[in-house]
Structure 1
Amino acid sequence: MKIAILGYGKMGKTIEQIAINRNHEIVYKTSSPIEVEELKKADVAIDFSIPDAAFNNITTCFKHHIPVACGTTGWLDRYEEAVKVCKEENGAFIYGSNFSLGVNLFFQLNENLAKLMSKFDEYKVDVEEIHHTQKLDKPSGTAITLTESILQHTDNKSWKLIENNEEVSDKEIPVVAKREDDVKGTHTIKYASSIDDIEIKHTAHSREGFALGAVIAAEWLHDKTGVFTMKDVLGL
């Protein structure tokens, strides 16, 4: 399969190596605005760019009939607009706030736990994420996905990014985002009561899990049309 990598930073370089190891060819890689003639050499694109570039990258792929798997976070205010363009162009699209197999299992575990805990009002839930200092968006897309899943299955109405120890209302989920040197990604969900705490946690040790999942998603997406998620790819 011929792959274009849109966003050739640390993740893009890891994706390149894994794709080559899986016998794919990287025909285009860029961190600059897309050169369409170069993009058109690809069978599929993988976008790990920056929030300001993601929407244009994705929709350019749709308009030139290149399936795209996107792992860039921080641009989701335009997600529905991107889906609309995908459908208009009969394109193929997977967005994942996190492509890691382990994280997607963690998403399912989080959803199951939220359903279980919804019956016990004495437990208050909070979310914490820790990433490297170069991460641009806060909170992480993974933390937002986890939190929104909790919202769907509990009486909480919204979430709030907590900085400087602000207070939250009874129906808000506090989300704490920390930035530390060389942290690949740690996400913790905690349900706390006066008697005890229940906690689940995912810790990434390298970028390879994210990159492998992105390549697997691109492989799965090739020759398909429609809008998908990692649940479709993994059969969850």
Structure 2
Amino acid sequence: MKIAILGYGRMGHMIEEVATQRGHEVVARIDKTDAALLEDGSLREADVAIEFSTPESGYQLCQAALKAGLPVVTGSTGWKEQLEALKAEVQSSGRGGLFAASNFSLGMNLMMILNEQLAQLMAPYPEYTPRIQETHHIHKLDAPSGTAITLAEGLIKQTPSLHDWHLGVETHDGSLGIEAIREGEVPGIHTVIYHSDIDEITLRHEAYSRRGFALGATLAAEYLLQHPVGVWSMRDLILHK
């Protein structure tokens, strides 16, 4: 598989390392500041594009790669509305492939499935108040993380008393609190907490390095080559492997 990496930062470098170890070849490396190169045929040799850039450049890079006829794996966050529009565009056109996830860690995506199951079990017990806490390195640009938002959406979907989320520690007035902490070089910790006066239930995932995200993105690219048309997610990869 020949890969174009869109967004050649720390994640881009890690993806190249993991993909190469799995026998793939990186044929294009485009930094977020080199978006104009997309129009110069630099993607011509690639079979698939993997995008991990910034909230400002993610949409432009993905759109350009799709226009060039490449299926795209996208992992940058902070441009949710544009991403939803891009998904709708791919679905309605009936051509092109887009694999999107707020988090490519296999363990984190298993937690997302467990999160919805736990929320369904907890819904009849109002004495437990849910909230979410996420911790990341100081370089992360968006808060809360896209992963925390995905967890919140899954929890809210299964909890009739909740209708929205907000950035903050406490859950109140039907709005789920998401606390975002930025410290050191933490790759990522996400915790779903159900607190009552007598006890507390937590569901937690901690990433030890970016390698798990890079492996997941590479697996997503392999999956996308086998399913080149449509919109896909890590749930599809996990449940239909």
TM-score tier, shorter chain, comes to over 0.9
- Residues 67-126 of structure 1 show CA distances to partners (whole Å, capped at 9, x for unaligned) of 000010101111221123323271100110001100011111111100100010110000
**Counterpart in 1 of 2:165?**
159
Compute the displacement of 1:187 (Å): 0.3
Tell me how many residue pairs correspond in the alignment: 233
1:62–1:89 Cα contact (<8 Å) kept: no
In the TM superposition, what are the counterparts of 1:37-76 in structure 2 within 5 Å? Answer: 37-76=41-80
What RMSD over aligned residues (CA atoms) do the two structures have, in Å?
A: 1.3
Aligned partner (choices 116, 140, 145) of residue 135 of structure 1: 140
Match status 1:193 vs 2:184: no
Cα distance between partner residues in 1 of 2:164 and 2:28: 41
1:59–1:85 Cα contact (<8 Å) kept: no
Cα distance between partner residues in 2 of 1:115 and 1:85: 32
**Counterpart in 2 of 1:215?**
218
2:49–2:70 Cα contact (<8 Å) kept: yes
Cα distance between partner residues in 1 of 2:54 and 2:94: 23
Cα distance between partner residues in 2 of 1:212 and 1:168: 34
TM-score (norm 1): 0.95
2:94–2:229 Cα contact (<8 Å) kept: no
2:51–2:75 Cα contact (<8 Å) kept: yes
Cα distance between partner residues in 1 of 2:121 and 2:175: 18
Cα distance between partner residues in 2 of 1:168 and 1:14: 36
Amino acid at match of 1:199: T
Tell me whether 126-135 or 86-95 shows the greater mean CA deviation.
Answer: 86-95
- Residues 23-52 of structure 1 show CA distances to partners (whole Å, capped at 9, x for unaligned) of 111000111214330112110000000011
Cα distance between partner residues in 1 of 2:87 and 2:220: 17
1:161–1:176 Cα contact (<8 Å) kept: yes
Compute the displacement of 1:170 (Å): 3.0
Instruction: State the identity %.
Output: 44
Cα distance between partner residues in 1 of 2:97 and 2:147: 22
Amino acid at match of 2:15: I
Compute the displacement of 1:231 (Å): 1.0
Gaps of 5+ in 2: none
Amino acid at match of 2:179: V
1:59–1:86 Cα contact (<8 Å) kept: no
Compute the displacement of 1:219 (Å): 0.6
1:86–1:227 Cα contact (<8 Å) kept: yes
**Counterpart in 1 of 2:130?**
125
**Counterpart in 1 of 2:106?**
101
Aligned partner (choices 206, 230, 233) of residue 234 of structure 2: 230
Compute the displacement of 1:221 (Å): 0.2
